[in-house]
Chains A and B, each alone.
Chain A
């Protein structure tokens, strides 16, 4: 379960019903180094890679119900890389036995015309931020440690201000629906990071 298998069948292709399993936490800036150290030891044998991304969150307001949210992300470090458009569904309710937050997820790689296109579709940008940090991998587990900064002048990613004095730590896995065993792997991985960072199942709705 490395990447979503790409079907070479065009009409309504893509990978249906992928789920994101997520655990979140945060560390203070001071303890970042020790966390990175630990992650280097635990994760797959690759040089730790840093990243700098710009994320734009778009809303499409319909006549009724909740607005439709799409997240468009581009890499600042790799300007030629395709944009990443992401739809995240509502977290699945209940099921205390699961150790991670589970939500529907659609990942689309798109060309650079994405912002214009979303505007044409009726989406409006709600907010934007810059995330800079490090990314690790252990098998299918993805570990992202990032610093979030708000963009002071819209569209200008050079002029930013950190949102807080801490780093966001996210542990996530993409898996087809129903593969709840991955949450078990995530829990044991999170367990190994315990004193440094407490990764928890955080419902974004609770925070709103």
Chain B
């Protein structure tokens, strides 16, 4: 208040003593206060012992009221504050209707009344001070002590003051009213501002434009190169269904969007490969609602729009796929039923691509049996489909570039080059149409299937056959159409010496190319049996190779070796292989024949001299002939000691080698 005008404010204590007389110069003479005993006697006098508690007696209240008035009247001595106080006092008393003075039966009523009046005074004083402090509405001016005014009759003065105060009060009330109005108005404005701010925010992420009196947004991927015909527009609406008087809920958003009903909910493309073709009646009723829709799509506007856009993209992918499925002529036609496309990549196998679109309403009618089905969804292919459609979009964008020079007609740039650069047929045909989405995804599915089946075949063999061992090293880096695996066939404990068989399997789309360590290439078809047979024959060959390697280490001599033996029983898979090795001193020879199906057969040839039961020949009488090789005897291989074939062979060789 330092900056304000110096205003004298007189503060008076509430009148505790009764005024006896007011002299003309305004000096009040008070009745001397009653002593305790007098007071008690006075109060006791008031008690009407003859009456019950209910007796109605107006007098004390009137009396107290009159006394109130009487004691205050003398104060109206030109001091403005007091009149104001009184006025407000009066107002409070008159306005607080139910607080009429009740006939007082209570002896301490006057005490209470005094206390109340003291409180009122204090409140009024407080109000006055606060009003004065807010200089907007009222300023205090020292009241001119005009002697002429002082001379006017007090009653008249009082009335005039009352009047002016009444207008002042009216002014105050009006101001208060305006204030409260402006508060509500600013609230409304804030809401409006929120709307604009939200709209701006939305505009930074979505394409909006004003059409007529509507605000329309664009969900489509057209600007990214999509050619899908769905208009994909949403409408932005101002959210007005909120009560202004109520408290605004926390998640209140002044914007609302309305999207086309067919884009509501969530959608995805389900890609799966199944073994058996289901009944034709089952088609198109694929489990629609595996994924739970988001908690509440409307909670966050942006998420809502994103999911709608996703639905649109899924629809576009599906539309493109089904269009291609109908157009492409393959020997096994693709089937398009309702929301499903079925294609046969390999015989007995079907690739199904379905559009699963779930809306919020449907969620409630979800049935549990759907859940029992195994989840055979191939996420990789779903992801690749999305990638492919974006690539497709990019292609359409990049193909419609502006002509250079500018005068040239519009058209694909590369087609413009075809004439002057004299492109030949092959170049032109590769410009004109690439592979479609469906063809690509079918190829990818084939590859994925082939890869997983190859892995299974190898794993099966590895777990079924312990000797020799088979190891597969899968390459981490692969293409969508090609991946590779390195297959090693070894014998346990002899990994260092027996590594003849190393195969590189390049798994493609339709076939598997096997590259041997020596560079031979074998192409296998997609049939599982082919790979299995091939690996079995390789394992059988491995054993014979191992014997060869072992002989080298043991100092034995290889007499003959053949990967494909033309003699003996015919194997159903591949050919048997055989090896004959001779001991270092040439006395013994071991012959091994190993077939993928017939298993191994080991024969030992003894020197002629050791065999007693050999019939004496008439021709071979001479002693030198005893060094000729003798007959073969089969080794009971299963009875041999040793944990695997190569170990057994090592033992056998060791047994046949004479100690030095």
Contact = CB atoms under 8 A, between A and B. Distances in A.
Are A and B genuine complex partners?
A: yes
Contacts of B411: 2-4
B52 interface: no
Contacts of A137: 402, 410
A45 B408 contact: no
A2 B404 contact: no
B519 interface: no
A196 interface: no
Contact of A74 (B405, B410, B416, B419): B405
A49 B402 contact: yes
Q: Main SS of the interface on chain B? A: loop
Contact of B419 (A51, A55, A109): A109
Contacts of A82: 416-417, 419-421
Contacts of B416: 82, 109
Contact of A142 (B410, B415, B418): B410
Contacts of A51: 402, 404-406
A6 B415 contact: yes
Contacts of B410: 2-3, 137, 140, 142, 174
Interface in B419-437: 419-421, 428
Contacts of A81: 404-405, 417
B409 A174 contact: yes
B420 A111 contact: yes
A109 B411 CA distance: 12
Contacts of A77: 404
Contacts, number: 80
Contacts of B417: 81-82, 109
Contacts of A73: 405-408
B475 interface: no
B32 to A, nearest CB: 94
A135 interface: yes
Contacts of B144: none
A73 B408 CA distance: 9
Contact of B402 (A2, A6, A110, A135): A135
Contacts of A111: 420-421
Interface string A75-90: 1011001111010000
Interface residues of B, number: 23
Contacts of B401: 49
A2 to B, nearest CB: 6
A55 B407 CA distance: 10
A75 B404 contact: yes
A45 B405 CA distance: 20
Contacts of B403: 84, 135
Interface string B540-557: 000000000000000000
Contacts of A131: 406
Contacts of B428: 8
A53 interface: yes
Nearest to A54: B405
A71 interface: yes
A71 B407 contact: yes
Contacts of B161: none
B400 to A, nearest CB: 8
Interface in A92-144: 107, 109-111, 131, 133, 135, 137, 140, 142, 144
B89 interface: no
Contacts of A55: 405, 407
A2 B420 CA distance: 20
B223 interface: yes
A24 interface: no
A109 B405 CA distance: 10
A50 to B, nearest CB: 9
Interface in A26-51: 45-46, 49, 51
A146 interface: yes
A131 B406 CA distance: 9
Contacts of A4: 409, 411
Between B222, B405, B419, B428, the greatest number of chain A beta carbons within 10 A of the residue's beta carbon is seen for B405
A25 to B, nearest CB: 17
Contacts of B223: 45
Contacts of B468: none
B447 to A, nearest CB: 34
Nearest to A140: B410
Given A82-B421, A110-B420, A111-B420, A144 B415 contact: no
A142 B421 CA distance: 25
A45 B407 contact: no
Contacts of B406: 51, 53, 73, 75, 131, 133, 135, 144, 146
A46 B403 CA distance: 13
A137 B410 CA distance: 9
B297 interface: no
Interface string B104-127: 000000000000000000000000
Contact of B407 (A3, A8, A86): A86
A174 B421 CA distance: 24
B412 interface: yes
A8 B419 CA distance: 11
B654 to A, nearest CB: 76
Contact of A78 (B404, B412, B415): B404
Between A2, A77, A81, A131, the greatest number of chain B beta carbons within 10 A of the residue's beta carbon is seen for A81
A135 B406 CA distance: 7
A144 B404 CA distance: 12
A146 B406 CA distance: 10
A170 to B, nearest CB: 9
Nearest to B420: A82
Contacts of B405: 51, 53, 55, 73-75, 81, 83-84
B409 to A, nearest CB: 5
A173 B409 CA distance: 9
A45 B222 contact: yes
A87 to B, nearest CB: 12
Nearest to A71: B407
A203 B405 CA distance: 24
B408 A109 contact: yes
The 4 A-B residue pairs whose C-beta atoms are closest, nearest first, are A3-B411, A75-B404, A82-B420, A53-B405
16 contacts: A6-B418, A45-B223, A49-B401, A53-B405, A73-B405, A82-B417, A82-B420, A83-B420, A84-B407, A107-B409, A109-B416, A110-B419, A137-B402, A142-B410, A144-B407, A146-B406
Interface of A: 2-4, 6, 8, 45-46, 49, 51, 53, 55, 71, 73-75, 77-78, 81-84, 86, 107, 109-111, 131, 133, 135, 137, 140, 142, 144, 146, 174
Given A53-B405, A73-B407, A109-B419, 17 more contacts: A2-B411, A3-B410, A3-B411, A45-B223, A51-B406, A53-B406, A74-B405, A77-B404, A82-B417, A82-B419, A83-B420, A110-B419, A111-B421, A135-B406, A142-B410, A146-B406, A174-B409
